[in-house]
Amino acid sequence: MELPQLHFTGQVWRPPYEASSQLLQVTSGCTWHRCKFCSLYHGTSFRMSPLSEVEKDLQVIRAWQPRARRVYLTGANPFALSYDKLMDIALLLRKYLPGMVSFGMFARVTDIAPKSVEQLKALRHLKLDSINIGMETAHDPTLERMNKGYHASDIVEQLSKLDEAGIRYNVVYLNGLGGKGTGTASATITANVLNQLHPCIVNVVSLTIFPESQLYQELKDGIYEEEPEVERLIELRTMLNNLTIKTNILAHHVSNPIPITGALPHDKAAIIQRLDKAIAALPEEELKAYRNKVEHL
């Protein structure tokens, strides 16, 4: 007997804290595909899964995982789907998985803009309770250089809508993104922006440049100079030191040579002390050797 297969195409990613979630593909690839540093969805064109395909997958999930309580919608940024399409998917989730407690997905900052607070509240009512957002930084010169397609003011405006709608969100901070000499400015500005918001988690990923990215070519051509590893630790310390909000820090991704986790403000002093020790004790060469061994994210 041939077992039924779910429709997964291209690269499939989910945050580590979604490890126990049921995955459901609703898009593949990324709508933007222009960030200079990104290689995660290399070679995969954006595709929306037909609603009929989503429904077939939910039929399989209902047969094999009928008590699924958490569903994570896959694709680089499924929140780019229109409000109506997301509502259709949410209603299908309720139909096939009546015991589901919540669902979530990835989003770009720009994906939030077309949706009103009222629409966001309606999605929240249908169990959308969290979104993961690749913010990267709030340093406008870096956002422009990396072709992110938005500015710090957009981050504040759009994520404030999520706050108002009661949808939790986690953001990614890409440490070292601006290149050599930009760390302190990026960290300070980003902390000031986040202090106006309420992210549940700040995920810290340290920039690792892979050959599939446009930034790799700029690095080879001498147009871009990587931020030294010690400067990255100082950048991270600066951002954490300037954060005044209550949030969780997850900086234990493989790209971080000094893994750190904690809850702010409670663990701030201990985290900064750990970073200070690393900054004082670890030579640049040792940290760079670690970076060079990171083969993939």
The average confidence (pLDDT) of the chain is 97
Whether the CB-CB separation of 28 and 44 falls below 8 Å is answered with yes
Q: Under 8 Å CB-to-CB from 22, ≥6 apart: which residues? A: 61, 65, 68, 70, 71, 72, 97
pLDDT tens-digit series, residues 158-171: 999 999 999 999 99
* pLDDT of 49 strictly over 80: yes
What pLDDT is attached to residue 4? 86
Residue 3's pLDDT band (boundaries 50, 70, 90)?
Answer: confident
State the sign of the Cα–Cα–Cα–Cα dihedral 268, 296, 193, 278. positive
Hey, how many other C-beta atoms are within 10 angstroms of the C-beta on 80?
A: 23
Q: Where are the domains of the chain?
A: 16-292
Taking the alpha carbons at both ends of the chain, their separation in whole angstroms is 36
DSSP per-residue codes, 231-246? HHHHHHHHHHHH--S-
Q: Which has the higher per-residue pLDDT, 36 or 296?
A: 36
Residues forming a β-bridge with 72: 23, 104
pLDDT tens-digit series, residues 52-107: 999 999 999 999 999 999 999 999 999 999 999 999 999 999 999 999 999 999 99
Task: Give the whole-angstrom CA distance, residue 43 versus residue 33.
Answer: 10
What pLDDT is attached to residue 60? 97
What pLDDT is attached to residue 1? 66
Q: pTM for the whole thing?
A: 0.96
pLDDT tens-digit series, residues 221-272: 999 999 999 999 999 999 999 999 999 999 999 999 999 999 999 999 999 9
Residue among 44, 106, 111 at smallest CA distance from 75? 106
pLDDT tens-digit series, residues 197-227: 999 999 999 999 999 999 999 999 999 999 9
Q: Give the CATH class of 16-292.
A: alpha beta
